[in-house]
Amino acid sequence: MIDIEAVTKRYSPNKRPAVDLLSLHVDSGEIFGFLGPNGAGKSTTIRMMVGLLRQDTGTIKVCGYDNIAQNVEMKRCIGYVPDEPLFYENMSGRKYLDFISDVFDIDLDTRIARIAKWAGRFSLIDALDDKISSYSRGMKQKLGVIAALIHDSRILVLDEPMVGLDPKSAFVLKEVMREFCNTGGTVFFSTHVMDVAERLCDTVGIINKGALIASGTFASLKESTGENQATLEQLFLELTDEEVETNDTHSRV
Ligand SMILES: Nc1ncnc2c1ncn2[C@@H]1O[C@H](COP(=O)(O)OP(=O)(O)OP(=O)(O)O)[C@@H](O)[C@H]1O
Ligand SMILES: [Mg+2]
């Protein structure tokens, strides 16, 4: 469903690549958790996957569509929640969802039903007619999630979706992500919350300095590291540990 093959992206020629020969594959019906330290390359990978950024080399296919050659077709099969959702703040939440529905050609009856369904689920109905500028961080995040769900896509891509959500909304979002996969969809999300990744994901990938350093089920990660009792947090810290390199750097200074 998602195929990333030897992808490299540099923002600047004299800096190391933000994403470095990254390959990964996510099957349909899976929840994939993308983990990595700050600056590891998660958002860069995600922006290429949803068709907002072009890689320098390598290929990306989502739902069989190439992210460059079939950019529009690919975007239509993805619901995307960015790390920092940007809105037209003067619009009401309802107007914004109407605008997104126009972009995806959703007919009137369907959009009314979907807006009611998702705004109900995320407890946003009472605020729908208020201007987005009056929304809290969490309310904006929920609006971004609803906007990604409104066109009933086959793939959901979420960049740190739990940020700003209260416990009930985070719980609802996790339920929605699981239901999305149970009905044949595929979820790809980045997170720093290891507990969420450990409990929710079918497979995880860990990226560090632009390169994928581990991927697979939590059980297979434990097996390959020989750490059978470890939590995902412990594995993550061990795999991304830079102490050796830092000491090495210090000794050279
Ligand atoms: N627009 C940009 N212009 C130049 N460099 C960028 C840009 N966006 C990201 N980078 C650089 O690319 C690298 C990867 O950044 P990216 O945002 O993909 O990381 P991330 O894994 O999403 O981090 P975080 O967990 O903090 O969100 C970093 O070194 C960052 O400084
Ligand atoms: Mg990021």
Place of tokens 């958002």: 43
Q: What is the pLDDT of residues 69-121, one digit of tens each?
A: 999 999 999 999 999 888 889 999 999 999 999 999 999 999 999 999 999 99
Task: Evaluate: CB of 82 within 6 angstroms of ligand 1.
Answer: no
Instruction: Tell me: pLDDT of 170 over 90.
Output: yes
User: So what's the pLDDT on residue 102?
Assistant: 96
* Cβ proximity of 205 and 214 under 8 Å: yes
Q: What is the pLDDT of residues 23-68, one digit of tens each?
A: 999 999 999 999 999 999 999 999 999 999 999 999 999 999 999 9
Q: What domains, with CATH codes, occur in the chain?
A: 2-213 (3.40.50.300)
How far apart CA 26 and CA 13 sit, in angstroms, is: 30
Give the burial string for 226-251 (b: 16+ CB within 10 Å, else e): eeeebebeebbeebbeeeeeeeeeee
- Out of 118-122, 158-162, 227-231, least confident range: 227-231
Query: How far does residue 204's CA lie from ligand 2's centre (Å)?
Result: 16
Task: Evaluate: CB of 205 within 6 angstroms of ligand 1.
Answer: no
Place of tokens 């922006």: 47
pTM over 0.85: yes
Query: How far does residue 97's CA lie from ligand 1's centre (Å)?
Result: 29
DSSP state of 127: G
* Cβ proximity of 2 and 187 under 8 Å: no
How far apart CA 11 and CA 147 sit, in angstroms, is: 29
